[in-house]
């Protein structure tokens, strides 16, 4: 099927939605130049992540920040403090925090499924079901309309009918795995548009599609761990994101959309590289200070715990370091007494907060310029 702008009207279900165009349409000269830059930046990020002594520093933190940002795009708002405090223990968490934590769980589960079985429509179903906390199925009822948030007018009507939607998802899945030589980052951009245009579920499509972006890069061998924090870029350029998505539908404006996504991958990769460097410097400095004030400061496992997530419990140090409760408490208390950790009482438990690490994780840097860094 050839892409036909005339086949689309915003208030009519786009049942004629065609699959993405061929490589010669998607890979224009300017797109290929941008793809080179984005691939280089992503490769540098992938290498930096797997080369740090304890990748858990980023495996724990980045998906949680991605979960927060991706949920915020859908107006599900919580704080990083609440997310880090409640991960592993959702007691007392509000609804937005619990739903955001499910996004992080969905990303990790989707990563495991992709590594084991590849990226498929079944992966998308599983991811969306985990995000929503219930069994999600492909839409069967008519009437889904996507409105313009500013005017309330209908901006887009996705395809209708479960059989047709499943057919479109089959086309999408075949495009993911086509042996056509298309650059993997260009494929990701086109596949993301296609999934959002199909809009296969009653809810959760945006968050599911953003997880699928990362999983496709994992399947393509471009990322070994799911640490691309792309949703922050989308929040910072939210108007462009929705405008360019719609422009593909209304005008077949593929080049502008693909360039937008490639820019996002490049600047996000470079920003994350800078954050990794800052974390390394903080770890070295923190470790030096900890050794000077605490017997536990020389324990490598103890240092790892304090940088795997900003919140630490005495029980975690006991289990990981194989020490008694008094010993674990004395190590943590020594750092707290020297203002290296802050303490917070939560019920009967005490949390020790690596505030310097938390502030570094959540600090929002200006978007990097393309080709810089």
H helices of the chain, in order, are 23-26, 29-51, 56-73, 80-86, 95-117, 121-132, 162-176, 184-198, 205-219, 230-236, 238-251, 254-293, 300-308, 314-321, 325-337, 355-362
Distance CA 247, CA 102 (A): 31
Cβ(190)–Cβ(26) under 8 Å?
yes
Closest CA to 193 of 113, 278, 271, 252: 252
Domains of the chain: 5-274 (1.10.3290.10), 294-362 (1.10.10.10)
DSSP state of 115: H
Structural tokens at position 2:
């050839």
Tell me how crowded residue 10 is: count the other CB atoms within 10 A of its CB: 17
pTM more than 0.95: no
Closest CA to 105 of 72, 50, 52, 66: 66
Closest CA to 64 of 93, 114, 101: 101
| Poorest-pLDDT segment among 57-66, 270-279, 321-330, 360-369 | 360-369
Give residue-wise pLDDT tens across range 247-272: 999 999 999 999 999 999 999 999 98
Give residue-wise pLDDT tens across range 130-179: 999 999 999 999 999 998 877 889 999 999 999 999 999 999 999 999 99
């Amino acid at each position: 099927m050839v892409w036909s702008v005339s086949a689309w009207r915003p208030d009519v279900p786009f049942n004629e939605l065609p699959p993405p165009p061929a490589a010669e349409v998607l890979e224009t000269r300017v797109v290929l130049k941008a793809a080179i830059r984005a691939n280089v930046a992503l490769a540098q990020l992938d290498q930096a992540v797997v080369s740090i002594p304890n990748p858990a520093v980023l495996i724990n933190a980045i998906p949680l920040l991605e979960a927060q940002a991706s949920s915020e795009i859908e107006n599900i708002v919580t704080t990083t403090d609440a997310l880090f405090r409640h991960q592993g223990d959702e007691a007392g968490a509000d609804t937005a925090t619990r739903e955001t934590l499910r996004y992080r769980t969905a990303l990790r589960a989707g990563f495991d499924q992709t590594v084991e079985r590849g990226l498929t429509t079944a992966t998308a179903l599983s991811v969306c079901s985990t995000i929503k906390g219930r069994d999600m199925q492909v839409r069967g009822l008519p009437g889904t309309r996507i409105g313009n948030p500013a005017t309330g007018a209908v901006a887009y009507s996705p395809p209708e009918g479960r059989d047709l939607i499943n057919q479109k998802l089959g086309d999408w899945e075949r495009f993911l795995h086509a042996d056509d030589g298309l650059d993997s980052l260009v494929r990701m951009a086109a596949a993301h548009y296609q999934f959002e245009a199909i809009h296969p579920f009653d809810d959760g499509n945006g968050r599911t599609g953003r997880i699928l972006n990362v999983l496709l890069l994992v399947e393509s061998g471009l990322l070994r761990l799911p640490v691309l924090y792309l949703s922050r870029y989308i929040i910072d350029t939210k108007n462009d994101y929705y405008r360019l998505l719609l422009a593909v539908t209304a005008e077949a404006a593929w080049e502008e959309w693909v360039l937008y996504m490639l820019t996002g991958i490049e600047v996000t990769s470079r920003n994350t590289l800078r954050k990794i460097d800052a974390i390394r410097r903080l770890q070295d400095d923190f470790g030096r200070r900890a050794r000077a004030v605490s017997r536990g400061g020389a324990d490598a496992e103890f240092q790892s715990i304090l940088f795997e997530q900003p919140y630490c419990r005495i029980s975690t140090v006991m289990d990981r370091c194989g020490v008694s409760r008094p010993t674990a408490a004395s190590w943590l208390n020594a750092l707290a007494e020297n203002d290296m950790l802050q303490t917070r009482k939560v019920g009967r438990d005490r949390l020790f907060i690596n505030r310097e690490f938390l502030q570094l994780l959540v600090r929002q840097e200006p978007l990097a310029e393309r080709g810089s860094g």
